[in-house]
Homo-oligomer: A and B are copies of this chain.
Amino acid sequence: MKNEPCFALALHGGAGTITRASLTPEMDNAYRQALQQALSVGYQVLQQGGTSLAAVEATVVSLEDCPLFNAGRGSVFNKRGTHEMDAAIMDGKNLGAGAVTGVRNVRNPILLASQVLHHSDHVFLCQQGAEEFARNHGLSFEPDDYFFTQQRYDQWQALRDSDTYMLDHSSEAMDKKFGTVGAVALDLQGNLAAATSTGGMTNKNYNRIGDTPIIGAGTYANNRTCAISCTGHGEYFMRNVVAYDISCLMEYKGLSLSEASALVVHHKLKEQGGEGGLVAVDFNAEVAMPFNSEGMYRASWVSGQEPVVAIYEE
């Protein structure tokens, strides 16, 4: 079947200490439904002959619009009680890339990153400048209310007067979860693309930028190798240039996607204490979704196969 034209999509909704015990059956079900929904949206784009770029964009929009995930609508509160979001998208066909950091009130940061990719001389725009670009290019803005969720607010209230920050939407600061959403795809034309979006860390300070919008760290796509979207403790992913490392291990060392991504996630990152995971797809429609945390919200669908939706370790 390998010679048949095929397409593939994989996505994540964050990684961390997500165990069966920590999710009620209702929450477990709600997450699975949201993952399935986002998967179907992207799969349809690919099935109808759409580009991998359009598929990852549509998938991430679906995840951004769902309040369960820390991106777009469900973004966490920062130190000042507002929402600052990051996103990046990359086209494996020509290495085109667009990224934004610290944007507020933009409904879908991934659509802004996509506009930067298509309509800017630049790759990476920041804060007010990125918002000005968004207004000049007709992106939808939402009031603060749109981004309000009681759970996120309660998390922030528990931390706001401390110097503690939370890596994600856990109710306990020490209970690490890494709130990010992302998608990777291979389309019928053989083009790869990757997209990632995040609302950052609860109570984050100093306008910290994580790996999500960094091309090569949290997001990367290259038709010669693979497309990758990461989620995890961003500082480790940045210092290890994780996404591009996997691409290089394939291109320069001849490793398969699963070998390369397992080496990086289960050895390099793990030895340093760098918790998290990623979703990846290569030019051959091989999918890998390794993580070294207890769980990762994830899903994948390769044409001609059954869709996969999973949360915990197998």
Cβ-neighbour of A249 out of B122, B252, B272 (below 8 A): B252
User: What 4 A-B pairs come out closest when comparing CB atoms?
Assistant: A129-B207, A248-B248, A129-B206, A216-B241
In the bound complex, residues from chain B placing their C-beta under 8 Å from that of A129 are 205-208
- In the complex, whether A65 has a CB less than 8 A from a CB of chain B is no
**In the docked arrangement, what's the CA distance between A124 and B206, Å?**
9
Q: Which of A128, A207, A245 has the most CB of B within 10 A?
A: A207
Are A252 and B248 interface neighbours, CB within 8 A? yes
> Interface 1/0s, chain A 121-133, versus B by CB < 8 A?
1111111111011
Instruction: Count A-side interface residues using an 8 Å CB cutoff.
Output: 43
Are A208 and B122 interface neighbours, CB within 8 A? yes
> Chain A: residues with CB nearer than 8 A to chain B?
90, 95-97, 101-102, 120-130, 132-133, 205-210, 214-217, 220, 234-235, 238-241, 244-245, 248-249, 252-253, 272
Are A130 and B206 interface neighbours, CB within 8 A? yes
**In the docked arrangement, what's the CA distance between A166 and B220, Å?**
28
Whether A132 contacts B206 in the complex (CB less than 8 A), given A127-B127, A235-B123, A245-B244, comes out as: yes
In the bound complex, residues from chain B placing their C-beta under 8 Å from that of A214 are 124, 214-216
Are A238 and B126 interface neighbours, CB within 8 A? no
In angstroms, how far is the closest chain B Cβ from the Cβ of A264? 12
In this complex, what residue of B is CB-closest to A240?
B95
17 examples of A-B residue contacts, CB within 8 angstroms: A96-B239, A101-B209, A102-B126, A120-B206, A124-B210, A124-B238, A125-B207, A126-B126, A129-B205, A130-B206, A130-B207, A214-B215, A241-B241, A241-B244, A244-B245, A244-B248, A253-B253
